[in-house]
Structure 1
Amino acid sequence: MNLITRRRMLFTNNLLITKHFSRKNSSLSTKDVEDTTDTKNTEDTKDTKEKIPSTLYSLAARLNLNFANQNLLLQAVTHKNFYENDLTNEGLQVLGNHALGLYVAEYLHLKYPLLPLPCLQQAVTAYCGHLTLTVIGQEVGLQYVVRWNNFTDEELFLQGKEIPKKNKSVGKSREPVQRITQGTAISHALKAIVGALYIDKGPQSARQFIHDHILSRDVNMKDVIEIKEPKRELSALMKRLKRPSPISRLKSETGRLSYAPAFVVGVYSGTEQLGEGFGSSVKMAEFRAGKNALLQYYLKEAKDFILPSIIDSHEKQATYIPTKVGDTPPRL
């Protein structure tokens, strides 16, 4: 065997060995890629589960929220200026705001049937207004889960952050976001939770949530209602009820010539005392007496009334007897 034949044999053997190991390494690398892909998919699944923080589950437990889709609760606490997510609570907040107004106004209108419209609006605001919802949200811990940005577009630009130019869900130009406070974000989130309940569980669940967490709170209605001209308003009310015109009478006084006088005035319709007030002057006592008389009339509570919103079946509709509501005009 000459030298050339030996070299050809060595070259052929080396080529076969190289092809063998290359195929083996290729199969190993394919298996490694599959394992890497499986690991990555597992990690992605874990990341998807971890998108909902544990604090949000704690909030759901405190408020007894049992959503079929937990991502709906995450959307409810995401303000529209939170740039990192396209799903925001803007639509849920609008729905929840109307549901709050409906169920709160329904309850107060039946509980205080003689309450005039301006006073009813003041009472509704006291129960579900911006400040009240902010306080309720802070008490249940919404400040720890609400997602929002306390930056304007200009500040984000100065920080070098990307600002979205369009709203993907609508497909139109997005208006510049103004600065909002944490209280606003909390208030909107609480309204959005009501809206999410309305969509996910139905109107009965939303109504029950409002009664449990909003209407169950103690609100002093006498401090809420504002009456600017009690004397004129009381005179118009007595005339409408066809009763004698109200007359103010000084019941008692002390220290008229001192630095701290005190007067007690009662307001009467015929022989019936409608209200009583005190003050450091006769005029102040008369003002408070008139206001006290109006509040006693307006805040007469109806007992054992039935809310129309709980009538959810034809059987209940057949036996439903509407509660008699007063007809106090909005302006006297």
Structure 2
Amino acid sequence: MFNWITREFRRVFGKDPYYRTIRSLLGFTPDNAELYKVAFIHRSASVVLPDGSAVNNERLEFLGDAVLEAIVSDYLFIAYPEHTEGFLTQIRSRIVSRASLDDIARRMGFEAHIVANFPDPAMYRHLYGNALEAIVGAMYLDKGYEFTNRFVIDRVLRHYVDMEDLSHTETDFKSRLIEWCQKSKRTIRFQTTQDSEATRQPQFLSKVIIDGIELGHGRGGSKKEAEQKAAWAVSQIVGNDDIGDYFMETVDMTLERYKATAADGQVN
């Protein structure tokens, strides 16, 4: 079956070896170029095998997502030895967010290599970031974890991610959220309680409640940490990491949607 797949890919992509393309794009020669071909195939352009199964990049994307998160987590753990788990989580989230990966993939030149079956790739959100994750998955299978780890650090993080800028961006999510509520004449409260079942060290749970609606929660070793995580969780729910003006507008729309749903009797 593998020979059939190889012939099919040659029919789709042509007879020229794909190794030179990967070397030009990623800076190394692959051992198995077929993996990287699959990594660029969006499900809309799936190659259908004789048994009816479809070959596309979704499985590689799934694998690459996990590998990429592990590499970034390890890198941040070493790079910021004095910072809290909450800080590391926030920075990692910004690095591996879909918007960030889309931008990195475009800057790496992925646009010309993605195979998709619709007129305008821009019609599908996160097409490029998903392909980047799939490439990481392909690389992991082809070259192993250590090679992939070094590639992500040297060719991705150090080239396309401004770590200093990320580490100094605003992290006081609670103050920013309270300020917005005051300007918008909305009520906000943080319902913070201590976990009575925690045995080794105190643990707190905080819930963000705006206009009577719980929008997010967080846990931490102190009330302050739990409340910051809860405010940050609200930003993740509405899909924006920066707590900027767009985020606040989205919170506003989210509240209105929740209220409308509750009015229809769909929320207790």
% identical equivalent positions: 22
Q: Counterpart of 2:166?
A: 221
Q: 1:135 aligns with which of 100, 103, 126?
A: 103
Distance 1:228 1:189, change over 3 A: closer
Please list the CA deviations of residues 42-101 of structure 1 after superposition, one character each: whole Å capped at 9, or x if unmatched.
Answer: xx8995494377888435323123222211110011122324442211111111111111
- Unaligned segments of structure 2, at least 5 residues: 1-6, 49-53, 176-219, 228-268
- Answering whether residue 209 of structure 2 is matched by residue 209 of structure 1, we say no
Distance 1:125 1:222, change over 3 A: same
- Secondary structure at the aligned position of 1:214 is classed as helix
Please list the CA deviations of residues 22-59 of structure 1 after superposition, one character each: whole Å capped at 9, or x if unmatched.
Answer: xxxxxxxxxxxxxxxxxxxxxx8995494377888435
Tell me the distance in 1 between the aligned counterparts of 2:104 and 2:15.
22
Q: Counterpart of 2:57?
A: 89
Q: Counterpart of 1:148?
A: 116
Q: Report matched runs for 1:1-332 at 5 Å.
A: 48=11, 50-51=13-14, 57-85=20-48, 86-150=54-118, 181-216=123-158, 217-219=161-163, 220-229=165-174, 330-331=225-226
Retained in 1: the 8 A contact 2:71–2:152? yes
Retained in 1: the 8 A contact 2:25–2:108? yes
Distance 1:229 1:131, change over 3 A: closer
Distance 1:183 1:137, change over 3 A: farther
| Letter aligned with residue 138 of structure 1 | R
Aligned length: 167
Retained in 2: the 8 A contact 1:59–1:141? no
Shift of 1:118: 3.0
Retained in 2: the 8 A contact 1:59–1:142? no
Retained in 1: the 8 A contact 2:46–2:56? no
Retained in 2: the 8 A contact 1:93–1:195? yes
* Structure with max Cα Rg: 1
| Letter aligned with residue 196 of structure 1 | A
Retained in 2: the 8 A contact 1:78–1:146? yes
| Letter aligned with residue 140 of structure 1 | M
Distance 1:199 1:74, change over 3 A: same
- Unaligned segments of structure 1, at least 5 residues: 1-43, 152-178, 231-326
Retained in 2: the 8 A contact 1:128–1:214? no
Retained in 1: the 8 A contact 2:46–2:55? no
| Letter aligned with residue 134 of structure 1 | D
Quick check: which one's helix share is greater? 2
Tell me the distance in 1 between the aligned counterparts of 2:31 and 2:21.
16
RMSD of the alignment, in Å?
A: 3.4
| Letter aligned with residue 114 of structure 2 | V
Tell me the distance in 2 between the aligned counterparts of 1:133 and 1:53.
29
